[in-house]
Amino acid sequence: MPSVFYVYRDSLQRRAALSSPLGLAERYLLFGLDQLAERGWTTAHNLESGSPPPAWAKSMGAVPKAGLERAGGYGGDFATVLGSLRRANRADVVLSTVDTVGIPLMLLNRAGRVRPPLVYVAVGLPERLARLRSQRMRRLYARALASSAAVLAYSEFEVEELRRWLAAYGESTRVEFVPFGVDERRFAPSSPRVSVDVLSVGADPHRDIELLLAVAAELPNRAFRVVTTGDRARTLAAIPANVEVEADVPFEAMRRRLEEARVVALPVLDNSYSGATTVLLQAMALGKPVVVSGTKAIQSGYGLVDGENCRLVEPGDAPAFRRAVADVLRDEWRARALGARARQTVEQGLTWERYVDRIEAVLREVSVA
């Protein structure tokens, strides 16, 4: 069987998932690492040492990062990538899971420093590319991205944006849509005590928590809960009395909060890659009625139909979002029907095994090409 080297962004959440016992739900934050190992792949990753990158990697990584940023580019975490490059080059294929490490990897790949085929997972890459400040940098990044054996994205819209951007600079490579998935066994419907009317979870920069607070202020008789990070919570002002804010909740506690909610509300600012996709699928798998902003990221590819398996609302439309939340809260039968069909949608095509199947198929194809 071939070997794959995963490259993760170094974060407390990722390290917590890596240190958790096999089989726990939060390990699916590892993008299929465990499942590929179960299928016979030899797996390794850049956070195995449990410590930050060595001093030499930090020193060497600072040079290209600073140079790129001065020239109008985006640097990323060169230190983490350089510190694990020797081990990555022993694998049959390298999988970059996020742009923070993916951009350094694609640039090093273009320079001939990455020997195995590189599979690049893009998560909001068009927004980063739009911030490149010179034509020279745009051409460099186009050539570097095209040097990847495959580019994957969790949004059909992001796939089309990347294809158009590459074509504009005369470049091309394999760019594919891979729908994200959820572990439907770990996130299965149950009948816990309902502790809150409306729950929102997430700290993505595009999460429109301010819109949710405005909705809560207009529904003072309903209890709202927001689960986010401490940093994001500190930015919130004028929190209505009917809103509880929780920060830095552990993964398993977050799952329980979803179980205990009557409705899950996920307002998101429009963008190419984020539709609160992870929490959206978790809530759907739990059979919860979800009200979510219909961003470009989830308008297609996930089988979402307004009024059938969720409520889709135009991003930024606070009155429409409030009406959708109020309607679902008011009609328990309709809420149950939305939740049941949401669960069916997950079971039919958005499971974790289906996600891993798609990732494995690409890895296998490029590793033997």
Is residue 95 assigned to a domain? Answer: yes
pLDDT value at position 28? 80
Q: Answer whether 223's CB lies under 8 Å from 308's CB.
A: no
Q: Within 13 Å, how many C-alpha atoms sit on residue 18's CB side?
A: 19
- Whole-number pLDDT of residue 189: 94
According to DSSP, the β-strands at 118-122 and 42-45 are unpaired
Name which of 18, 14, 22, 42 is nearest 363 in CA terms. 42
| Per-residue CA distances from 155 to 122, 152, 180, 350 (Å) | 9, 9, 9, 13
List CB contacts of 253: < 8 A, sequence separation 6 or more.
Answer: none
Q: Are residues 10 and 125 in the same domain?
A: yes
Looking at the fold, whether 290 and 309 belong to one and the same domain comes out as yes
- Asked whether residue 332 is domain-assigned, the answer is yes
**Sign of the alpha-carbon dihedral angle for 162, 163, 165, 171:** positive
166: which 2 tokens? 């590459």
Retrieve residue 3's tokens.
């070997």
Per-residue pLDDT of the chain (369 residues; tens, 9 = 90+): 799 999 999 988 888 889 988 888 788 889 999 999 999 999 999 999 878 889 999 999 899 899 999 988 888 999 999 999 999 999 999 999 999 999 999 999 999 999 999 999 999 999 999 999 999 999 999 999 999 999 999 999 999 999 999 999 999 999 999 999 999 999 999 888 899 999 999 988 899 999 999 999 999 999 999 999 999 999 998 899 999 999 999 899 999 999 999 999 999 999 888 889 999 999 999 999 999 999 999 999 999 999 999 999 999 999 999 999 999 999 999 999 999 999 999 999 999 999 999 999 999 999 876
**66 and 153, same domain (yes or no):** yes
Are both 200 and 314 inside the same structural domain? yes
Whether 129 and 146 have beta carbons less than 8 Å apart is answered as: no
Task: Establish if 262 belongs to a structural domain.
Answer: yes
Identity of the residue numbered 361: A
Burial 8-29 (b: 16+ CB within 10 A, else e): bbbeeebeebbebeeeebbbbb
> Is residue 271 within 8 Å of 295, Cβ to Cβ?
yes
- Three-state SS at 352: helix
162 and 45 in a common domain: yes
Kindly state whether residue 38 falls inside one of the protein's structural domains: yes
Do 208 and 316 fall within a single domain? yes
Contacts of residue 75, defined as CB under 8 A and 6 or more positions apart, other chains included, come to 64, 65, 66, 68, 69, 103, 104
Ramachandran quadrant class, 366 (left: phi over 0; alpha: psi -120 to 50; beta: rest): alpha
Q: State the first-to-last Cα distance of the chain, in angstroms, to the nearest integer.
A: 15
Asked if residue 190 belongs to a domain, the reply is: no
41: CATH: 3.40.50.2000
Residue 107 resides in a domain? yes
Query: 188 lies in a domain?
Result: no
In this structure, are 260 and 174 located in the same domain? no
Is 230 found in the same domain as 90?
no
Looking at the fold, whether 306 and 291 belong to one and the same domain comes out as yes
Q: Kind of pairing, strands 196-201 and 261-266?
A: parallel
Residue 369: predicted pLDDT: 64
- Please tell me the distance from the alpha carbon of residue 141 to that of residue 139, in angstroms, as a whole number: 6
Strand partners, 355: none
In a domain, 156, yes or no: yes
Are both 119 and 107 inside the same structural domain? yes
Name the region of 337 (left: φ>0; alpha: ψ -120 to 50; beta: rest): alpha
Full-model pTM = 0.94
Distances (CA, A) of 299 to 271, 303, 316: 11, 8, 15
Give the range of the structural domain holding residue 56, as residue numbers without chain letter. 3-181+352-367
* 164 and 207 co-located in one domain: no
Domain count, the chain: 2
310 plus 362 within the same structural domain: no
Give CA–CA dist 308/41, Å, rounded: 39
Tell me the C-alpha to C-alpha distance, in Å, between residue 353 and each of 289, 303, 331, 350, 357. Answer: 23, 17, 34, 8, 6
Start-end of H helices in 228-351: 230-233, 251-259, 277-285, 318-330, 332-349
